[in-house]
Amino acid sequence: MNWTRQYPGWAMFAAMIGLLLFLWGMAVPLAAAPAPIGPAAEQFADGARITVGLTLIAGTAGVLIGVLAGLGKLSSFWPLRWLCDSYVWLIRGTPLLLQILFVWLAFPSIMPEGIELSDFACAAIALSLNIGAYNTECVRAGILAVPHGQVEAARALGLTPLQTFMDVVLPQSMRVALPALANNLASLVKDSSLAYAISVVELTMVGYRVQAESYQPIPVFITIAAIYLILTTAFTTLTAALEAQLDVGQKR
């Protein structure tokens, strides 16, 4: 995508506007489609918004978790390192579906009395923890790729360790980590479909319901697939543009 590289600012803007227009406008053309699609247009739009909502929430939380746990894995304080290692090992070694079910079934008994989590919140938590573990590895690799001379220069200038991290190490490590993080985000769009198991009415669940009522799986699943493709394309454009933006000063 050459255009994305050349005008990253515009590409990001276009992808975001496109996504918003699509989420809130798709019901209009879909409604004009013949049954079983037309009558269920609003349901498709609702499902897509839930899918995108899950992706954005878990995607954002997952980056935060990834940065914190990635740092933790590089810490010189071994209990912290051990904690972060165990977290990644646990999440990457078990199925996402199990993690979603676990949060949904186990959290209510762990949480203090009076706090109730919605199905959506449970799915968002499980997905955040999941993508966070995969992000941890990317962030760690990114931080390790920052040349030590950059840290020395910042420290010699009098920047504190926190300033050195925020102003120098993090931006440079993101340039390395971003392609992998973007990949994880694209997977998340699709992985969020597993939330159907705890009755979150996201896109795949909508498809399942509509075809169950109409007995016409083929048009319904083609529509669902098309919506997923448009969503993943929008997210990929967004992250590719962000990469191009961060690439500034790297090579030229």
Partner 1 sequence: MSSDGTLRTIIETRKVDKRFGTFHALKDVSATFYEGQVTAIVGPSGSGKSTFLRTLNRLETHDSGEIVIDGIVLNDNLKNLDAIRREVGMVFQSFNLFSHLSILRNVALAPMRVRKMSREAAESKALNLLERVGLKNQAAKYPVQLSGGQQQRVAIARALAMDPKVLLFDEPTSALDPEMVNEVLAVMRELAYSGITMLVVTHEMGFAREVADRIIFFDEGVILEDTTPESFFSNPDHDRAKAFLSQVRHGF
- Are 232 and 82 in contact by the 8 Å Cβ rule? The answer is no
Query: Which lies closer to partner 1 via its Cβ, residue 42 or residue 152?
Result: 152
Query: Which lies closer to partner 1 via its Cβ, residue 160 or residue 199?
Result: 160
Instruction: Kindly report whether the peptide bond that precedes residue 39 is cis, defined as omega within 30 degrees of 0.
Output: no
Query: Which lies closer to partner 1 via its Cβ, residue 112 or residue 149?
Result: 149
Write the DSSP symbol of residue 94: S
Other CB atoms within 10 Å distance of the CB of residue 244:
18
Other CB atoms within 10 Å distance of the CB of residue 247:
14
Q: Under the rule (CB under 8 A), what is the footprint of partner 1?
A: 147, 149-150, 152-160, 163, 167-168, 171-172, 175, 246, 248-252
- Are 26 and 48 in contact by the 8 Å Cβ rule? The answer is yes
State the nearest-atom distance from the C-beta of 61 to partner 1, in Å.
Answer: 25
Query: Which lies closer to partner 1 via its Cβ, residue 81 or residue 155?
Result: 155
State the nearest-atom distance from the C-beta of 146 to partner 1, in Å.
Answer: 9
Per DSSP, the three-state class of 56 is helix
State the nearest-atom distance from the C-beta of 245 to partner 1, in Å.
Answer: 11
State the nearest-atom distance from the C-beta of 246 to partner 1, in Å.
Answer: 8
